[in-house]
Chain A
Amino acid sequence: MNAPERPDAFKTGDLKVVGTRPVRPDGNDKVTGKAVFGPDFKAANMLQGALLRSPHAHARIRSIDIRKAEALPGVKAVVTREDFPTLEDILMNVGETAGSVLDLSQNVIAREKVFYDGHVVAGVAATSEAVAREALALIEVDYEVLPHVIGIEDAFRPDAPVLHDTVFTRGLDEKPEQPSNVPLRMRQAKGDVEIALGDAAATVSGHYSMLPVHQGYIEPHACVASWKADGKVDIWCSSQGAFNVRGLTSAILGIPTGTIRVMPLEIGGGFGGKTTVYLEPLAVVLSRKAGRPVRLTMSRTDIFRASGPAPGAVLDVRLGATAEGTLTAAEVEFKYSSGAFSGYEVFLGISSAIGHYNIQNYVVTGWGVLSNMPKHAAYRAPGAPQVNFAVESAMNELAEKLGMDPLELRLKNAIRPGETSMSGTPHGEIALVECLEAARDHPHYSEPLGPNQGRGVACGYWGNHGGPSTASVAVAEDGSILVVEGNPDIGGSRASMALMAAETFGVDYGQVSVTIADTSSIGFSGVTGGSRTTFATGKAVVEASRAVVEILCDRAAKLWNVDRAQVEWRDGEAICGAGEKAGETLSLARIAAKADNTGGPISAEASVNPLDHLPGYAVHICDAEVDRETGHTRILRYTTVQDVGRAIHPDYVEGQMQGGAVQGIGWALNEAFVYDANGRLDNPGFLDYRMPVASDLPMIETVMIERPNPAHPYGVKGVGEVPIVPPLAAVAAAVSEATGVRMRDLPITPDRVHAVLHPDG
């Protein structure tokens, strides 16, 4: 049942193109093998690079001897920390938030110490990959191996091996005297939680945990960089933001931004993990030294060892409510892993913790914890699924304690339009209540269950983002509409841009083409992330389209020799409202053909920076069956309900809902980073890092609740991230019901399930 359901209350306008499901503009290339992704690009005279990575989780680098590698025939460049500038630490925009350039630079190539298994120590460019790999084996690195630490609680202890002697916990009342692995404590509070918990008719408390998980994009990181003798740099790569790659490469290498041109290739999945740089600065430095273009590609093993993961977490939650189910208190405390360098997920975890409910007394505390794992990266709604798992699991337990239906408990406490969330932001046209009602009334929710089966629900929230975007729109000589934008298309956004432009012009979808330009060919655009592209870049496309319509009307007025005010634009053509030509029309093609006589080329560019985005809400229902003999969990049925604003291309909105839900199912049941006693990742491949496959899953049913965002010309709300927020708790609740034991630790692997079903072995 994937047909869109549009509650009558939210039906608006008479849109002709927006809301239809045409074939995406880049589709043909992607089903025929023609599309050029990151690893597919070749430059003339290109060298192949390879990277030497640390085999140790934590070690001081005493020395690196590259002389033998440099002497190997076919080797054109070897680079180490000596080839990178020493930076003053500055904060700059990294993906969606501020990040430390010093940290990023050290993550790209190790300086005094290596901080994790897989940390880059040196790079080689050679005439073939075989030669490059041979050269790596000739590099001699003298390591002083240091004690390492992986687990959150281990790294948090005062006697843990400390990664950075410059890190002192921020956010405490007093600055600590000793450095630690805890860069940050954040707290947000209101009211008096202890009194409220004491007065509550019902309380629940629980301790929850999960390990880091990887974004799991199928396309490896890859780039080609070409440094030219005049100091100009070309980079071809797939990323979630070419401008982000340009800015970070510029900052890490200390070269002017304007000398770098980044050509966006097609991107094979990112989920937040491609909002940073790993390879590009290395490829640029190798190219500078070799004088030829250099390609770098990560192997799957290296992707797992040295990129990604989302934070693991340990969390404690206490909730209190009245006998009628009104939440009166929430106490949430969590520790998130950050990897070897500080991240920003703690902040996002706090803002995502309980913002979907009205609670008068709360305290939410988050800690960031460093350990010898790769620097963590954004993963779809970064920081939200972890804390949501604990809070929503506690909500399910509270419903049981109160004898209430879990969706009714949520309805009683759900945040409504006009109410202020925990972040202090007043929420406008949000539809959490309608999502909860649609889930409650869905046939799935009342379908009978069999033995060893359970049903779980959860709801979640993600703030979404807006931010800077640029788009230009030009009219070709025959009236075709050419849209140019700067956001990589990671899941069908060219189609949504074309739909919004076609709607604005009143033309057919097929009359619009969309190009994603390089960083020198269009104004700045933030990353494709934060569920911001269709919202913010869409706004830029619509603004530029409206400006072009204005020009077209002006040109028509000139052709008719009437006032601009007498010309109206409707259904892709100008209509004359006065004079002897009254009632006549001029098509886009006619106006375009006469452009040279009326003022020249017709185009406009719009740059926007909207912050009037609205959050997204989702409610998920999961049925699971547990095999008592093997402990294996099978997902029987899964339904997602989501507040989607307006679905510009409903297929791709459903696709976000389905894909996010399945990533969440994998997180709940299978996925985890497992380290051995030496701090080396034990499962750096798809065989042992088990992501869901087609035979693990049923169809993922989708219900889109369309309550348009009034701040967007076509009602867009971000839809991409919130689908991964509720699945962890929904799946865990289903397994809990099926087994009769509360599942508070992820992933819920067969051995864990078997252990709770057979406590005596």
Chain B
Amino acid sequence: MSKLHVTCTVNGDPREFLCDPADTLLSVLRGPLDLTGSKEGCGSGDCGACTVVLDGQMVCSCLVLAGEAEGSVIGTIEGVAEGSGLHPVQRHFLEKAALQCGFCTPGFIVAAKALLDQTPNPTETEVRYWLAGNLCRCTGYDKIVKAVMEAAAELRQERIPA
């Protein structure tokens, strides 16, 4: 079985890798690309811990074949923050204590950022339904939803021209 050679952009950097046709994008991110921030909680697209943005679309990277990533632009949790700072979603997750164990957190943050990129002023219900593909077993979601709402409010302030 010959390997596929894939070239893509990950978190703004040009990357290339070899993979088997059956490899998932998640296994390549966590393996050869050494980006273990994306987690495998189920491998069946039910928990959202592996959420990444692929060509502008939020996807479960465990459901994408690595070979499909040829020429694509991928954003993972490692690319959410710029430099050593934190994105407002990340900061509000910390300030609102929106994580306990933290294993599902990368998936939630990537998903929440994707929501706020397209919907700057979501209702609580919109946040809850958008995040319904991400499982958290620790928090009961209360503080996660609050953190996302507060991050949204801060990002709206930033968007107002001075």
A residues sitting closer than 8 Å to B (CB atoms) are 2, 21, 23-24, 26-28, 30-37, 39-40, 130, 215-220, 266-271, 299-300, 490-492, 649, 651-652, 654-656, 658-663, 685-687, 691-697, 699-700
Contacts and interface: CB of A to CB of B under 8 A. Distances in A.
A4 to B, nearest CB: 13
A299 B137 CA distance: 17
Nearest to A27: B94
Given A32-B78, A693-B133, A694-B136, 8 more contacts: A28-B86, A31-B106, A33-B106, A39-B40, A492-B100, A663-B140, A692-B141, A693-B135
Interface string B133-160: 1111111111111100000000000000
Interface in B86-129: 86, 90, 93-97, 99-106, 109, 125, 127-129
Interface residues of B, number: 56
Given A35-B102, A219-B41, A687-B46, A23 B95 contact: yes
Contacts of A687: 44, 46
Interface SS of B by simple majority: loop
Contacts of A39: 39-40
Interface of B: 20, 30, 35-44, 46-47, 49, 76-78, 80-81, 86, 90, 93-97, 99-106, 109, 125, 127-129, 131-146
A31 B137 contact: no
Contact of B134 (A2, A651, A694): A694
A693 B39 contact: no
A655 B100 contact: yes
A662 to B, nearest CB: 3
A188 to B, nearest CB: 33
A213 B104 CA distance: 21
Contacts of A220: 40-41
Contacts of B43: 299-300
A689 to B, nearest CB: 9
Q: Give the interface centre of A23, A40, A492, A659 by most chain B CB atoms within 10 Å.
A: A659
A652 B97 contact: yes
A267 B101 contact: yes
A196 to B, nearest CB: 40
A32 B76 CA distance: 10
Contacts of A2: 142
29 contacts: A23-B95, A27-B94, A28-B94, A30-B99, A30-B102, A31-B105, A32-B37, A32-B77, A32-B81, A33-B106, A218-B101, A218-B103, A219-B39, A269-B138, A300-B47, A490-B101, A654-B97, A655-B140, A659-B100, A660-B140, A663-B137, A685-B44, A686-B46, A687-B46, A691-B135, A694-B129, A694-B132, A697-B140, A697-B142
A219 B102 CA distance: 10
A358 to B, nearest CB: 32
B41 A655 contact: no
A267 B137 CA distance: 13
Contacts of A655: 97, 100, 138-140, 143
A21 B133 CA distance: 29
A649 to B, nearest CB: 8
Given A693-B132, A699-B145, A37 B94 contact: no
